[in-house]
Amino acid sequence: VWGRAARQPPGLPLASCRAFSNKKIQVDVNESSGVATMKFKSPPVNSLSLDFLTEFCISLEKLENDRACRGVVITSAIPKIFSSGLDITEMCGKSMEHYAEFWRAVQEMWLRLYSSNMVTLAVINGSSPAGGCLVALSCDYRIMAENPKYTIGLNEAQLGIVAPFWFKDTFVNVVGQRVAERSLQLGSLYPAPEALKFGIVDELVPEEKLQEKATAVMAQWLALPDHARQITKSMMRKTLLDRLVAHREEDIKNFTSFVSKESIQKSLHMYMEMLKKKK
């Protein structure tokens, strides 16, 4: 389990470390440190399916309500991939009801993660395109493995689709208007060193040092009194959170009508075929 040994203070019973394993995400709570770890383990590429998102939301809610838990590390159990983003099979050849249900789950995940009272730390130990990048951008801090083969970015435009306004605004809040404008138009996927340069991630660390670094960073954030940190975070993020809450149904309608267009269905199908051939 992530960091358990390292963070386990000597002499404390192992019972202080609880785990609740689900199907797609392994969650461990270290009660002595107050830090939970969520490890994505949904082969082959941790894609954000409806099931995955539902489990993600439930896990976040459990941790949010767990007074012993003050911070959460989000990372992947699958080599070379953090998360491949939204599961395209959920957007292909399904009913309008299904598209709406799926999109509501995507919104729900973001609303919970972006507004979390916990310190949220993304430990990006693999590639993280599109929705995977959104998960990382929604955390408080991003550490990425120092491997130029791993890329990250909101590359929706490359698939002929458009990142919704709250993906865009989350991105702008991290990298600023200009880098966001250029990157979203080009659907840029940045290798780790460039992701650092453009501010998409905060630090690069050799992959074998990620766990150690995560422990240190989390300790730094948890050294602050929770209450002041939480109010400050809310003050910074409230405008954007409120905007989605106010336009949630409209945003679902936009998504379902867009994704159900014949031209979009065609290009998503083509993209899926391409992915299948890759395997």
Site residues (CB under 8 A) for a copy of itself?
140-141, 156-163, 165, 168, 172-178, 180-182, 184-187, 199, 202, 220-221, 224-225, 227-229, 231-233, 235-237, 267
Residues 6+ apart with CB under 8 A from 255: 99, 100, 103, 164
Residue 115 CB, shortest distance to a copy of itself, in Å, is 13
Give me 93's structure tokens: 């050849």
Find the shortest distance in angstroms from Cβ 162 to a copy of itself. Answer: 5
Q: Which of 106, 101, 104, 108 is nearest to 64 (CA)?
A: 108
- Helix, coil or strand: residue 80: strand
* Residue numbers annotated as active site: 86, 131, 155-156
Complex with a copy of itself: residue 176 or 193, whichever CB lies closer: 176
Q: How far is CA 215 from CA 4, 128, 219, in A?
A: 10, 21, 6
Minimum CB separation from a copy of itself for residue 72, in Å? 15
Question: What span, in angstroms and rounded, lies between the C-alpha atoms of 104 and 168?
Answer: 17
| Residue 21 vs 239, nearer CB to a copy of itself | 239
Q: Tell me the backbone φ, ψ of residue 75, rounded to 5 degrees.
A: -150, -175
The smaller minimum CB distance to a copy of itself, of residues 1 and 224, is found at 224
Q: In the chain, which ranges are E strands?
A: 17-21, 25-30, 35-40, 47-48, 71-76, 80-81, 85-86, 119-124, 126-129, 141-145, 151-153, 190-191, 203-205
How do 119-124 and 47-48 pair as beta strands?
unpaired
State the nearest-atom distance from the C-beta of 20 to a copy of itself, in Å: 28
Q: What is the dihedral of CA 98, 104, 110, 115, to 10 degrees?
A: -160
Query: Minimum distance from CB of 227 to a copy of itself (Å)?
Result: 7
DSSP class of 124: E
Residue 126 CA to residue 279 CA, distance in Å, equals 18
Between 21 and 257, whose beta carbon lies closer to a copy of itself? 257
Tell me whether residue 14 or residue 228 sits nearer to a copy of itself (CB atom). Answer: 228
